[in-house]
Amino acid sequence: MSPLDRYNGDVLSKGWNAPRKPVSTPLTLERDLVVEDATTGFCGAVLRWENGIVQLEDRRGKVRSFPLGAGFLVDGRPVELQAPVRAPAARSRRTASGSVATPGGERAKVALPSRIYVEGRHDAELVERIWGDDLRHVGVVVEFLGGIDDLAAVVEEFAPGPGRRLGVLADHLVPGSKETRIAQAVERGRHGAYVRVLGHPYVDVWQAVKPERVGLKRWPDIPRDVEWKAGVCEVLKLPHADQADIARAWQAILARVRSWNDLERPLLTCVEELIDFVTADHVPQDT
């Protein structure tokens, strides 16, 4: 029988018609490794990786995200990208805010009467991501208001006083804004000595994330007749038909935030000042 006989062999044997796929070699990620996505042809250097996602930046500065695993090429070779195995945390590791973390066996703190209020859920999630460890260490709880319009009534109900301070993080706290007038009225009120309202200048807390973290040079200017978050999603080419889409878009943005270095300075300053303010009457107990 000729070696070229196409009927040579058992055509009913297992795998006779299976495509012969190249085997991917496992490869541990490292920064600046040049990788090509085999499906799209996008080629770029590794910027970062987190939660099963790797970010690549091409030579023009465009950034795209891909799920880890097979489907990549390095120097033309198929590879399966894997995240490095994390070494055990050092004793003096730092939190996302840059503070020195306390030992893992530290006794949990009882929550202080003082509180920090933020305007919405996204603000609360961002504060938790960066300052969560610090806040748990000092026993401060963060709650969200759902908007600042009723702040005066919220303050009256909370009844701040010595040892029971209230810090408020507001969006768009700029001269002449509605938010600024509300904040000034509260701080002039009878509880003013124990209330601190601070805010960043951004339309929404999304803008407190450095734009390059989401592949932008700057956050876009959205027309006033377009809902701001929907307009941003349009620019980022993310679905925004309903609130569920907006929530998923925020989670995608939040996933790019790993430490204080991914946030703009005005937000960092506000939150650090609020933490100092609400813990000013607290005397740490010996453990």
Q: Which residue has the higher pLDDT, 215 or 2?
A: 215
Domain limits of the chain?
25-82, 115-209+257-278
Q: Which residues contact 199 (CB under 8 A, 6 or more apart)?
A: 169, 170, 171, 172, 173, 179, 180, 183, 270
State if pTM tops 0.95: no
- The pLDDT of residue 22 is 64
Q: How confident is the model at residue 7 (pLDDT cuts 50, 70, 90)?
A: very low
Q: Percent of the chain, pLDDT > 70?
A: 81
**Which is nearest to 103 in space by CA: 113, 95, 91?**
91
Average pLDDT over residues 183-200: 92
CATH class for the region spanning 25-82: mainly beta
- The pLDDT of residue 100 is 46
Q: Which two tokens stand for residue 130?
A: 């960066």
Q: Work out the mean pLDDT of the chain and round it to a whole number.
A: 83
In this predicted model, what pLDDT tens digit does every residue of 82-130 receive, in sequence order? 988 865 545 545 555 555 455 554 444 556 789 999 988 899 999 999 9
Helix (H, G, I), strand (E, B) or coil at 36: strand
Pick the CATH number of 115-209+257-278 from 3.40.50, 3.30.70, 2.170.130, 1.10.287: 3.40.50
**Phi, psi (deg, nearest 5) at residue 107:** -65, 140
- The pLDDT of residue 111 is 66
- The pLDDT of residue 89 is 47
Average pLDDT over residues 201-205: 90
Range of 23-27, 130-134, 228-232 with top mean pLDDT? 228-232
In this predicted model, what pLDDT tens digit does every residue of 12-64 receive, in sequence order? 445 545 555 568 899 999 988 899 998 888 998 888 887 778 888 888 778 78
